[in-house]
Amino acid sequence: MCIYQVYFKFRVIYTKWIFCSFKVLRSLIEGDALFERTLFLWWRSQWSVSLVLLSLRKGLLSMPLDSPSAALAELFAKARTKPLNEMTAQEVRAGASKLRAMYGQGPEMGSVHEVAVESGEQTIEARLLVPQSPPRALIVYFHGGGWVTGHIDDFDVLARKLAQRSSCAVLLVNYRLAPEYRFPAAIDDATNALQWAATQGQLLLGAASPLPLIVAGDSAGGNIAAVVARWARDKGQPEIAAQVLLYPVTDADFARPSYVDPQLQPLLTGEMMRWYWDHYLPDAVQRQHPDASPLLAQDLRGLPPTLLITAEYDPLRDEGEAYAARLVAAGVPTEFERYLGQFHGFASFVNMLPGSAAAIEHIGQFIDHRLAR
């Protein structure tokens, strides 16, 4: 059994033996203020998430980068001609688009609709993928790429697999990219896309009653999804049934341990993230705005049930897990998972990394659970 599958099973049994483990008990006793907060969260009923977060913080769970991921990281390292900070946004986008051929083909859909979404004075593209089975919900998906790269064509195979597994329609949003369109252009596009999904999207799907809405995204797209979910909560509409955040950007704090440890950065590095932030939002003060750094939002209560996935080898790992801890503290039903032995972006490498298939199955199970309630 591969390591991501081990951990995928691990979260189910972990809480059954954790208090029987002397090693864990000792680490708790020797812990810092995090232990007191985690113990409090345990009594808040989200104890399994809190204990997993604590044990990860203590370094009790770790695995080497798995073989397929290590081979792919080595391939990318050899193909890199110059550092990211010496490249233009156009050069980075051109390199990212070459990956499309590596993903292969996605499953056939019942229908595919290329649509236009009005966003202020702009019009953005979106793609509505409808599975062959009647859709149970509508997922609004925001792609990753550091707010600088990424296109719906790059994420088409991932979205098709997600639509097939979840039996949900998926709306891929081509939000505007930096540096041509800096913050908050992507957020404006995302909120308008969500409103489109709640109105025209529902009409296009032709369901007898409105389908539940789910927001989802990876990396920078996870950042956008988190902001949009809070925006919908504050606005009171549309109602969001769940949010799925894959290794999201939640803060601009470059001093976190996962940001400064080069051993955790086989693909995305801390320096790369600084480059992305400089293109998206150069003003360091504005980065503290909760629409840029959702971890800094004052109140997370009332947000939709959340699945938050991080990768062990990722500079964004710590800020994603900090956001999971805050969701738990706010009483938000939260399912958290750190995928051991995986690097940043692993879920996007469909048909390439087995970890991607595991993540898609995990998302499908989460959606099954939420829609069954």
pLDDT of residue 43: 37
Same domain, residue pair 136 and 233: yes
For the stretch 257-312, pLDDT in tens is 999 999 999 999 999 999 999 999 999 999 999 999 999 999 999 999 999 999 99
Q: Does 269 share its domain with 126? A: yes
Enumerate residue ranges in the chain where pLDDT < 70.
1-61
- Among residues 42, 61, 80, the one where a domain terminates is 61
Q: Same domain for 242 and 176?
A: yes
Whether 77 and 158 share a structural domain: yes
> In this structure, are 331 and 192 located in the same domain?
yes
Do both 57 and 124 map to the same domain? no
Are residues 36 and 119 both part of a single domain? no
Per-residue pLDDT, 12 = 35
* Residues acting as catalytic residues: 219, 314, 344
3-state secondary structure the chain: CCHHHHHHHHHHHHHHHHHHCHHHHHHHHCCCHHHHHHHHHHHHHHHHHHHHHHHHHCCCCCCCCCHHHHHHHHHHHHHCCCCHHHCCHHHHHHHHHCCHHHHCCCCCCCEEEEEEEEECCEEEEEEEEECCCCCCCEEEEECCCCCCCCCCCCCHHHHHHHHHHHCCEEEEECCCCCCCCCCCHHHHHHHHHHHHHHHHHHHHHCCCCCCCEEEEEECHHHHHHHHHHHHHHHHCCCCEEEEEEECCCCCCCCCCHHHHCHHHCCCCCHHHHHHHHHHHCCCCCHHHCCCCCHHHCCCCCCCCCEEEEEEEECCCHHHHHHHHHHHHHCCCCEEEEEEEEEECCHHHCCCCCHHHHHHHHHHHHHHHHHHCC
pLDDT of residue 46: 52
Write down the pLDDT at residue 129: 98
Q: What is the CATH number of the domain that holds 99?
A: 3.40.50.1820
54/169 same-domain check: no
Residues 332 and 218 in one domain: yes
Residue finishing a domain among 11, 43, 61 = 61
Range of the domain at 16: 1-61
Clarify whether residues 161 and 35 are in a common domain: no
Is the domain of 148 the same as that of 212?
Answer: yes
Are residue 42 and residue 162 in the same domain, yes or no? Answer: no
Residue finishing a domain among 23, 40, 61: 61
pLDDT of the residue at 134: 96
Q: How many domains does the chain have?
A: 2
pLDDT given for residue 146 in this prediction: 98
